[in-house]
Structure 1
Amino acid sequence: MDQTHVRALEALQPFIHLANSNSATSPRFIANLITNATSSPHTYVFAELLETETVQALASPDTPAEYQAYLKLLQIFAWGTWQEYQETPNLPKLSSEQSLKLRLLSLLSLAASAESLTYPALMNALSFSSTAELESLVTTAIYANLISARLSPATTPPYVNVTAVAPLRDVQPQALPKMISLLTDWEARCGEVVSDLEAEIARVKSNATARHAKDQAYQKGIEEAMERRKAMGGSSLDASSGGSSRGKLASFGRRPVGRWAAGGGVPGNKREADDIDRDDGFWESGEGAEAGSRMDIDEAPASRGGSRHSKRILGGRKA
């Protein structure tokens, strides 16, 4: 609860106790009680005082007419305005303190209905004849923490910009059914919004779960593909190595003999490879001998004088 409202309730408590006391037996006593309560500088709410039996007893037909009007006056202070007081006949005359209090309460009602109030509109609603009176009332309301506002007298038209209003006006009983209906509709709309939010949250969670499962399946597929690629890569490497060795031997067309056959491999340098390409004619198969191929083999190393020994001719006549 707002602190200003709490202080206003505390200020009204002494008058409520008096209204419920044994001394509150005459309409005159209750009328004086209402006058004092509405004149007090710190009382701004009056619904609790209105609900007391002694105050409600003023509406009885047995109550003299001069005191019955005090019940209506207290109602105007509770939820009415200065204009309503001016338009209602046969009401008690107000003191200066009561006039100030009712104008302040009326300013609260006007400020709650609009953020920006022009000087002419306020002066007409509060029966002021000069802007100085209006500015004095607004300043009093600001210092009493009834409103938060800023005066703008230099604008055209001049206005009062209200930014906050204290919750000090009582609610008229006739307005309660309408307020209950509005609150019920608001509660129903809030329930619909909550239901929509819950459905949206469930949809987002479902999409997130499906997306996570899809990402996991995709990652698992990548890992399996990498494993298969690794396995296929090793087999291809082995097959490529074996096929390459066999291809090197097959490229010669036949199996060599002699020192290369004994060595178990291909020639170790370019010169030896060139000797193979020239096809000197000595092969394990008999095809070379039948074709008249030949190979010269030195019987002994050359002497220092550069002369060579005679050669033994294999496989055919010497050219």
Structure 2
Amino acid sequence: MMDIERKQADLIDHFVKLASGQKGSALGSVIVEATSHPSLFAFSEILAVPSVAKLEGTENSVYLELLRLFAHGTWSEYKSNSGNLPQLVPDQVLKLKQLTVLTLAETNKVLLYDQLMLELDVTNVRELEDFLINDCMYVGIVRGKLDQLRRCFEVQFAGGRDLRPGQLGSMIQTLSNWLATSDNLLFSIQEKIKWADTMSELDKKHQKEVEDRAVEVKKSLSLKADVDFRGLEEIYSEPGGVMDYEEDRSRPKRRRHPIS
């Protein structure tokens, strides 16, 4: 994308300088060349050249209208006003159709094949898909996915066009809304991070308490087992206990005489 932007900037600078040194019909030729160039898709800087603005109200004003069309218009707009504009050469027709796709992508990221074929004067799906692949995506002005099943073009990226008169205020408002939404989202994420950190600390504290309690229980059980074992030792070692009983069993018993 950086190469495309750099090439655009170089072309704009070239045609601005070229237009600044021309007037009248010669300036018209510069405008036709600019609008026919396969790599130029922005024209507002050329429109701002004083000599171009001076075409207004002259016999060559149609070239000014032509340049305005390529800056802001679409193929369907050209068709509806073609009688008041110079006839387009094939390269200009292609360029205007490419720009039409960019305009459609400004407001909708899913472009239906039927809508595109109508706007671009394309008669079949194969021709439309070839145009989108070869003349739009390959050129680099859009990226997206062709969905033949749903008959639509899913736009993932589209280059921007020149701002229309009066569109700047709307764009500033849109960017301001986007900035406010981003700030709110960032605040929400930060709050969730704080909550997660708090829950993590509580979980660690609870885990430590459980581990400490387990250690205490183990100590208690160990102490009780030791006490019980010592108690048994004392029982078996007392006089008259088991050992005395065994000794008594081994002692010879006195025999009693039978009663006669």
Shorter-chain TM-score category?
0.7 to 0.9
Deviation at 1:133, TM superposition (A): 11
Normalised to the residue count of structure 2, the TM-score between the two structures is 0.75
Give distance in 2, aligned partners of 1:82 and 1:36. Answer: 18
What's the TM-score, normalizing by structure 1? Answer: 0.63
Whether the 8 Å contact between 1:46 and 1:170 is mirrored in structure 2 is yes
Change in CA separation of 1:6 and 1:265 when aligned onto 2, cut-off 3 Å: same
Question: Which one has a bigger Cα radius of gyration?
Answer: 1
Matched with 1:261 is none
Alignment counterpart, residue 115 of structure 1, candidates 99, 111, 115: 111
Write the distance in 2 (CA, Å) between the matches of 1:180 and 1:206.
39
Query: How big is each residue's C-alpha offset from its partner over 1:95-129, in whole Å with a ceiling of 9 and x where there is no partner?
Result: 343233223322443466443322xx44543456x
Q: 2:104·2:111 contact (CA, 8 Å) conserved in 1? A: no
Q: Cα distance 1:125–1:216, how it changes in 2: closer, same or farther (>3 A)? A: closer
Residue 247 of structure 2 aligns with which residue? 268
Cα-to-partner distance string for 1:151-191 (whole Å, 9 max, x where unaligned) = 96xx9xx9674656651532324222222222222222222
> For structure 1, which runs of at least 5 residues remain unmatched after alignment?
252-263, 281-294, 297-318
Mapped to 1, the partners of 2:237 and 2:121 lie a distance apart of 117
Residue correspondences, number: 252
Q: Among 40, 50, 73, which residue is 2:66 paired with? A: 73
Report the RMSD for the aligned CA atoms in angstroms: 3.9
**Identity score, percent:** 22
Aligned to 2:16: 16
Letter in 2 for 1:217: E
* TM-superposition CA deviations, 1:221-269 (whole Å, max 9, x none): 22223323333433443343334444735x9xxxxxxxxxxxx966536
Q: Does 1:172 align with 2:164?
A: yes
Aligned partner of 1:220: which letter?
A: D
Q: Check the 8 A contact 1:16/1:49 in 2, yes or no.
A: yes
SS in 2 for 1:115: strand
Secondary structure of 2:240's counterpart equals: helix
More helix by share: 2
Offset at residue 193 of structure 1 (A): 1.9
What residue is the counterpart of 1:242 in the other structure?
234
The answer to whether the aligner puts 1:106 opposite 2:100 as a matched pair is: yes
Matched residue of 2:113: which SS?
strand
Mapped partners of 2:181, 2:218: distance in 1: 55
1:77, CA displacement in angstroms? 0.3
Structure 2 counterpart SS, 1:14: helix
Contact 1:9 1:45 in 2 (8 A): no
* Cα distance, 1:146–1:224 mapped onto 2, change above 3 Å: closer
Unaligned runs of 5+ in 2: none
Q: Note the C-alpha offset of 1:81.
A: 0.5
Distance 2:245 2:25 in 1: 138
Which residue of the partner structure matches residue 183 of structure 2? Answer: 191
